[in-house]
Amino acid sequence: MSNKPQFLTALTRLWRLDIFVIVLVVVVLDLVARTSSLPVFHIGWNQFDVPYRSRIWWANRDFQTLKKAPDVVLLGPSTITCAMYGAEAKYTHRAQCELLKHSSDYLEHQLKELAGYGVSTFCLGLPGQVPSDAFMITKGLLVGDRVPKAVFYGITARDFIDATFNDPSDTDTFKMMSNIGHFPELQYSCRNSIWEKLNYQLGKISFIYGHKPFLVSAQHHFVHDALANLDGGKFVAAEAPDLIRKQAMIQLPEDLSGLEVQDVYDPSKQACVDNLAEYRTRYASFRPKRFEQQLGFFKAVVDYCRQQNIKLYVANMPITRANRNLVPPAVFALYQSRTSEIARSGGAQYVDFDNPKDFVASDFMDSVHLNGTGGQKVLDRIASLIVQGSQVASTARAGQVPY
């Protein structure tokens, strides 16, 4: 009869289980990774070195290369980006690479015409952007020597009431800006699912799991280097046929190459696309809790700009009457009253660009997005708002900054 204590017998049996060995190896590796100074474990943890490069990644990269802060930053969803790039394409008669260019030649020209001197711009607006995204961008990027003199923030009701929008933590902007600014105070409040909260907590407990994106990116670099060594030259990603690329976009819609998204203005093809079915879904249900959550982030943007002495201009962006009529009147009135109240009480200048007399059907490419003609109209109004609203005529003569 064996004299071995029962707990040693149990431990011996447990050791023979593969799952126990695997868990033990993972725990040991995680502890080594957390405490080690070896490069293989720390890779610099470059927050911009991520495996999938979304729009916010490209905007971040471009913004970080600026030698000084832009004078004016644009914020907002696709109502801003479509207007800006459409206006650019019409103004320059060239295709606009949305991922590589973030300044507006047309807006800068209009600002210079009105102000009498050069004013630099940078667009941090992104399709699908909601106030939680806008807040993380302003607080994460507009800091230190990157604080602009003015911010123009274009909003619509969709930004606050989109029924297809899930948690703020689901967006590419939230994930990217969490790498840069961390925002630990938002990691739970922006996750409504218990599973997402548990997933985040697991990333905090496990060093390796928490740095999964960086490790995947390191894996990509390793594969690229291996392929380069095999053929004796630099690895260059091949252009895939359009059919394959479309399939890849279904699987990884956030992974974009620099020349992938372009805007071309074609006056012969300005028919307005009917996308009302999409917005019927977006406006299908009003969730007060989500609405209040996004209002809170909107207020945080206003407060942050005031604290940083950034002149903030907020505009209700133009949409077609057909689209606006899909929003319940009481909901739209609530959106407009609350946002205008928050903006004005926080020291921002609020304006309503949504006037059917100013923007007609031929100014739109669909029910919410302006084409090149409509885009130039709205950028004209932005330039006038920034310059005239800041009384630039008198301050310019006095040699002061008009913001």
- pLDDT value of residue 394: 34
Instruction: Report CA 317 to chain centroid distance, whole Å.
Output: 18
Identity of the amino acid at 310: I
What is the residue range of 301's domain? Answer: 71-168+264-397
In a domain, 303, yes or no: yes
In a domain, 62, yes or no: no
Task: Enter the tokens of residue 166.
Answer: 């899930």
Identity of the amino acid at 157: A
Say whether both 329 and 276 belong to one domain: yes
Say whether both 109 and 18 belong to one domain: no
Give how far Cα 123 sits from Cα of 80, 118, 176, 349, Å.
9, 17, 17, 19
Say whether both 21 and 81 belong to one domain: no
- pLDDT value of residue 192: 80
In a domain, 78, yes or no: yes
Q: Which residues pair with 152 in a beta bridge?
A: 74, 313
- pLDDT value of residue 329: 95
In a domain, 108, yes or no: yes
- pLDDT value of residue 398: 37
Is residue 293 a contact partner of residue 330, using CB atoms and an 8 Å limit? Answer: no
What's the average pLDDT block by block, 10 residues per block, for the chain (403 residues)?
A: 59 59 70 61 54 84 91 96 94 87 95 92 95 95 93 97 90 85 80 81 74 70 70 58 59 59 64 88 93 96 96 96 95 96 96 92 92 94 86 37 45
Say whether both 393 and 309 belong to one domain: yes
- pLDDT value of residue 273: 85
Cβ neighbors of 126 (< 8 A, separation 6 or more) are: 55, 56, 59, 77, 78, 81, 133, 173
In a domain, 200, yes or no: no
What is the pairing mode between strands 262-263 and 96-97?
A: antiparallel
* Residues of the chain by 3-state class (helix, strand, coil), percent to 5: 55, 5, 35
Say whether both 80 and 30 belong to one domain: no
Say whether both 116 and 11 belong to one domain: no
Number of domains in the chain: 2
- pLDDT value of residue 137: 95
For 182-281, strand residue ranges (E) read 262-263
Say whether both 28 and 149 belong to one domain: no
Helices 105-115, 78-92: crossing angle, 10 deg rounding: 80
In a domain, 220, yes or no: no
Say whether both 393 and 268 belong to one domain: yes
Task: Enter the tokens of residue 352.
Answer: 């309503």
- pLDDT value of residue 39: 47
| CATH number of the domain that residue 130 is part of | 3.40.50.1110
- pLDDT value of residue 237: 56
Task: Tell me which residue has tokens 């905090």.
Answer: 204
Which 8-state DSSP code applies to residue 121? E
Q: Which of 166, 72, 169 is nearest to 402 (CA)?
A: 72
Say whether both 119 and 16 belong to one domain: no
Is residue 335 a contact partner of residue 161, using CB atoms and an 8 Å limit? Answer: yes
Say whether both 137 and 78 belong to one domain: yes
Cβ neighbors of 324 (< 8 A, separation 6 or more) are: 157, 332, 354
- The 3-state DSSP class for residue 290 equals helix
Say whether both 383 and 296 belong to one domain: yes
